[in-house]
């Protein structure tokens, strides 16, 4: 980046026809912004006089001259040739005596940050917020932008309103999404080139609000308008961004769906991801990858002694019922497990834990492995690949080495007979950890000894399964918690010895 940091690239857009009238860029272009670097090509668009011809010239470290484009229905649009990471650059759209300028523009990777209140949660409210804000100025190449909270019944071409324009840290970091900012900061430390962060999220919103009618139709929800507004945030806060070339997206949402179409989330969430990928790919003229990387946070905790299955069910559905990501239904995704990060004393209710640093760090590990193909990056917590049972014991074999702390009740078994298989209202009994080895744990099945047999096993299947960073099963490094799982007989999961 050393040779390109000081270079200045000037984009000159010259309108051949009469250019009296408004000349401007679309709402989400601005000074200090980041555009997507090579090998992808950034898209620029804006508004101008109808029929004007626009010729875009690039000068700086090399020269480019693009073919003229015509303003059609009041909009001009160009796709730049690929530009390497770096900056700053100047972007100028010129129309006879009228010009529109973007200054201090960098090229790097653009990440879209979406979801509800835990993604909206600002940096000023996290643990050690003063420290985070104090060091923000050390990251001037991590730039932030925030869309306003707007709903629409129809798909919008441009953002109706901008909440926070493109900014250089520390400006606006305090109000910006903590998870998004920290993710970008951690990425920059690893990649050492500019990162652009686009925040578009709204608290208390279900996945249906962020989904297009196409995606809702995939899950049989097209006619379900309900009180939470199908597609209203897709229309106003995502659809306008489709022309933007992006590297990937991260997502923190699902709390609202613990009681709103909970049983549909294993369909609606993967369908939304698929649809976003298709729409951004088409909207950017093929520049955004058709399978761009998508990271998400598996829900943390809310009520310490809750007996509701809402949150554990949604955690499972967030993975399309596989229990881990990426998986065959959700390829090129990555997941940050957060069930071991409860915050009972959070002034914003325990639903909003203040430790966003660990969340962002776990997302970053996933991004480095999935989005940047960095080898030997551990980003998945332990997950069982075999469960064997006898009358007295269960042995859970994991797909990696594990760090184990004894627990009496985080594993649970369902006892039944062949005539009454386990169902949603079945009773579950603790299965204490008795022994463990490098890649396995042995559990007691004594609760089923009298008349029944073990027909199902689950792990961490409750709202608040353990205290802060104190779950029983972690990766060997102790960094990555095992995600929850549930497995039923007949075996793909439980097998007889």
DSSP letters, 375-422, are: TT-------EEEEEE-SSEEEEEESS-EEE---SSSEEEEEEBTTB--
Report whether pLDDT(65) > 50. Answer: yes
The model carries a pTM of 0.93
Residue 239 DSSP class: G
Q: What confidence tens digit (pLDDT) does each residue in 99-143 have?
A: 788 899 999 999 999 999 999 999 999 999 999 999 999 999 999
Report whether pLDDT(497) > 50. Answer: no
Report whether pLDDT(6) > 90. Answer: no
Alpha carbon of residue 140 to chain centroid: 23
Averaged pLDDT, 391-395: 90
Both tokens of 313, joined, read 């069910």
The torsion of the CA quartet 70, 73, 75, 81, rounded to 10 degrees, works out to -40
Report whether pLDDT(454) > 70. Answer: yes
Phi-psi region of 458 (alpha: psi -120 to 50; beta: other; left: phi over 0): beta
Rg of the chain taking only CA atoms, in angstroms: 25
Report the pLDDT value the prediction gives residue 22, as an integer from 0 to 100. 81
Residue 67 DSSP class: P
Report whether pLDDT(21) > 70. Answer: no
Helices (H), 117-229: 117-120, 129-135, 178-191, 213-218
Burial 379-413, CB ≥16 within 10 A → b, else e: bbbbbbeebbbeeebbbbebebebbbeebeebbbb
Report whether pLDDT(17) > 70. Answer: no
Q: What confidence tens digit (pLDDT) does each residue in 138-195 have?
A: 999 999 999 999 999 999 999 999 999 999 999 999 999 999 999 999 999 999 999 9
**Which residue carries 């492995």 as its tokens?**
369
- 425: pLDDT confidence band, cut at 50, 70 and 90? confident
Q: Other C-beta atoms within 10 Å of 478: how many? A: 11
Report whether pLDDT(5) > 70. Answer: no
Q: If you average pLDDT over every residue of the chain, what do you get?
A: 90
Work out the burial of residue 2: count CB atoms within 10 Å of its CB; fewer than 13 is exposed, 13-18 middle, 19 or more buried: exposed
Helix, strand or coil, per DSSP, at residue 160 = coil
Domain map (residue ranges) of the chain: 2-106, 107-370, 384-496
Range 107-370: architecture per CATH: 3-Layer(aba) Sandwich (3.40)
| Closest to 493 (Cα-Cα) out of 410, 419, 413 | 413
Report the pLDDT value the prediction gives residue 419, as an integer from 0 to 100. 59
Averaged pLDDT, 285-307: 96
Q: Other C-beta atoms within 10 Å of 162: how many? A: 15
Report the pLDDT value the prediction gives residue 88, as an integer from 0 to 100. 92
* CB 309 within 8 Å of CB 316: no
Averaged pLDDT, 34-52: 93
């Amino acid at each position: 980046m050393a040779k390109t940091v000081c270079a200045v690239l000037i984009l000159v857009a010259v309108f051949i026809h009469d250019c009296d009238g408004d000349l401007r860029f679309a709402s989400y272009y601005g000074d200090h912004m980041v555009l997507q670097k090579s090998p992808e090509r950034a898209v620029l668009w804006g508004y101008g006089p109808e029929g004007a011809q626009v010729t875009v010239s690039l000068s700086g470290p090399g020269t480019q001259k693009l073919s003229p484009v015509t303003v059609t229905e009041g909009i001009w649009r160009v796709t730049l040739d690929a530009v390497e990471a770096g900056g700053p650059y100047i972007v100028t759209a010129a129309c006879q005596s009228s010009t529109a300028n973007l200054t201090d523009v960098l090229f790097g990777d653009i990440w879209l940050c979406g979801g509800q209140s835990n993604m909206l949660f600002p940096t000023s409210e996290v643990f050690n917020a003063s420290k985070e804000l104090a060091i923000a100025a050390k990251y001037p190449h991590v730039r932030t932008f925030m869309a306003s909270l707007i709903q629409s019944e129809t798909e919008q071409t441009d953002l109706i309103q901008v909440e926070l324009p493109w900014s250089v840290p520390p400006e606006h970091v305090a109000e910006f999404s903590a998870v998004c900012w920290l993710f970008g900061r951690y990425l920059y430390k690893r990649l050492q080139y500019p990162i652009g962060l686009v925040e578009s999220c709204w608290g208390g919103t279900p996945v249906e609000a962020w989904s297009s009618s196409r995606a809702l139709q995939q899950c049989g929800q097209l006619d379900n308008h309900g009180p939470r507004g199908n597609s209203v945030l897709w229309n106003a806060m995502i659809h306008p961004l489709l022309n933007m070339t992006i590297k990937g997206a991260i997502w923190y949402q699902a709390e609202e769906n613990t009681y709103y179409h909970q049983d549909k989330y294993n369909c609606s969430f993967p369908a939304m991801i698929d649809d976003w990928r298709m729409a951004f790919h088409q909207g950017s003229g093929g520049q955004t990858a058709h399978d761009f990387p998508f990271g998400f946070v598996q829900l943390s905790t809310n009520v310490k002694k809750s007996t509701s299955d809402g949150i554990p069910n949604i955690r499972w559905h967030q993975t399309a019922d596989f229990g881990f990501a990426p998986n065959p239904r959700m390829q090129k995704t990555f997941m940050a497990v957060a069930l071991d990060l409860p915050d009972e004393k959070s002034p914003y209710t325990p639903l909003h834990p203040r430790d966003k640093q660990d969340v962002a760090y776990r997302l970053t590990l996933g991004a480095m492995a999935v989005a940047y193909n960095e080898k030997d990056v551990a980003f998945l917590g332990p997950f069982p690949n075999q469960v064997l049972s006898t009358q007295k014991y269960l042995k859970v074999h994991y797909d990696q080495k594990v760090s184990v702390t004894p627990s009496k009740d985080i594993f649970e078994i369902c006892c039944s007979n062949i005539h009454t298989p386990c169902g949603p209202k079945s009773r579950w009994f603790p299965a204490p950890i008795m022994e463990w080895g490098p890649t396995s744990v042995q559990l007691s099945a004594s609760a089923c000894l009298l008349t029944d047999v073990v027909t199902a096993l689950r792990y961490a299947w409750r709202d608040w399964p353990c205290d802060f960073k104190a779950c029983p099963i972690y990766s060997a490094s102790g960094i990555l918690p095992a995600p929850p799982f549930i497995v039923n007989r007949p075996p793909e999961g439980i097998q007889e010895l």
